[in-house]
Structure 1
Amino acid sequence: MSPKRGDDVAPPPVDGEWRLRFATNAAAKGWGELGAEAPGNTRRCFEALRRAPLSTEDPDRQHRLRGRLATGHLGGRDHPQWEYEVTAGGRVRYLVDEERRTVHLVDAATRHPKDTE
């Protein structure tokens, strides 16, 4: 998704941070909704994914998905798929491209996804 006039400006990664990109329009829309609903938590999610998208320090908040959801496909390649709990219901799902140090947000929503219930 290309930025356009009126869009927020994302800071570039520095000092070993990971690049964050939207992989879908739904993720971009959902990210905006999460930011409006829970700006502090969404900011903490942003910082956590920039710093350590593969962190297992807080598995209740940030973890790799299991089973059929453990891997996602993007750009002709498979990547591990993770989830970050932004709020009690809000989630961000992302694919981790370790080679390019890029986190691809594939979904973001203010409600819990039904496929993990």
Structure 2
Amino acid sequence: MSPKRGERVPPPRRPKGWELRFATSDAVKGWEELCRNAAAQTWDAWTILSERPVTPMNRARQHQLKGQLGTRSVQGVSMPQWQYEVTSSGRIWYCVDEENMVVWLTMASTSHPKATE
């Protein structure tokens, strides 16, 4: 997905940091929704995921998903899948490619995902 004229400029990758990429088109739509509805919290989420996607400081807000949701295939590679709580109902699900230091956003939503209920 290449940016087009008039689109928002994504932050660059942090030196020695993690790069965030979209794994699904639903994650793209959900991310934009989160940015519109909870900009400050989404910025905090981006910062945390680009600095420490698998070393949470707050396990209530950031943790690996359990059961069938605990892993997911992204580009043919099985990876652990995590959740970050952006707001009381907004969530980001992401997979971690430690070898390439890439965080793949698999789902982003302003509402609580039904799959975890």
How far the C-alpha of 1:7 sits from its partner, in A, is 1.5
* Unaligned ranges ≥5, structure 1: none
Partner-residue secondary structure (3-state), 1:56: coil
RMSD: 0.9
Whole-Å separation in 1 of the counterparts to 2:108 and 2:93: 6
TM-score with structure 2 setting the length: 0.96
**1:19-30 matched pairs, under 5 angstroms:** 19-30=19-30
**1:22-41 matched pairs, under 5 angstroms:** 22-41=22-41
Match of 1:59 in 2: 59
TM-score with structure 1 setting the length: 0.96
Match of 1:10 in 2: 10
- Is 1:83 aligned to residue 87 of structure 2? no
How far the C-alpha of 1:41 sits from its partner, in A, is 0.3
* Unaligned ranges ≥5, structure 2: none
Whole-Å separation in 1 of the counterparts to 2:107 and 2:48: 16
Whole-Å separation in 2 of the counterparts to 1:96 and 1:53: 7
Give aligned-pair identity as a percent: 48
Q: What does the per-residue CA deviation read over 1:3-26, in whole Å, with 9 as the maximum and x for residues that have no partner?
A: 112221112213221000011111
Number of residue pairs aligned between Structure 1 and Structure 2: 117
Q: What does the per-residue CA deviation read over 1:63-110, in whole Å, with 9 as the maximum and x for residues that have no partner?
A: 000100000101111000001000000000001000000000011000
Poorly superposed stretches of 4+, deviation over 4 Å: none
